[in-house]
Amino acid sequence: MPYKLLFVCLGNICRSPAAENIMNHLVAEKGLSDRIICDSAGTSSYHIGSSPDRRMSIAATQKLGISLKGRARQFQKSDFRDFDLILAMDKDNYANILSLDSSGQYGEKVQLMCDFCSRHTLKEVPDPYYGGTEGFNRVIDLLVDACEGLLNQVDSND
C-alpha cells in the first residue's frame, strides 16, 4: 500500500503544486514512485481546474529542470481519509484544513511543511503570488529543503 502525501496551500497554483512536483521528482530519483504517491489541493475554490502559475513553473524549470504538472482542485473532507499525511504551507492553510475536521480525528495527519526543513528556519512557506521572481525562487529553495526532509522521514518509517 503506497504512502499518500497531500500538499495544501490557498489556491493550489503556486506552493502546493510546486511541492507535489518537487516531491515526485525526488521520489522518482530514489526509485520510490511505487511506494509514495503525491497530490496537491487548495483550501479555496479560486483556481479550480487551473494549471500551476507560470512564474512558479519557470522557477521550477530554471532551478531544478522540472516542469510543474497538475490542475488545481479544492481540498475535500474525503482527503482526510484518503491521505496518510497532509502538509499545509502556512498556518492559515493549517487552520482552514483543521476547521473541516469537525470530529477532530485527523489532527495528527496535518502538519506544517516547514517542520521538515533542515536548512531553512522559516516556519511557513510564504505565498509568492503577489511578489516578484525572487519570491518564487525562494519558495522553490524552501520546498526542496522541506521535501528532502519529508522524504527522509517517510522513507525511514517504511
What residues are labeled active site?
A: 9, 15, 127
Strands 36-42 and 110-112 turn out to be unpaired
- Nearest partner of 111 among 95, 93, 88, 91, judged by Cα: 88
Residue 104, Ramachandran bin (φ over 0: left; ψ between -120 and 50: alpha; else beta): left
The residues, ordered by sequence, that sit 6+ positions from 47 with a Cβ below 8 Å of its Cβ are 11, 12, 13, 72
Q: CA geometry: angle at 11 spanning 144 and 98, to 5°?
A: 85
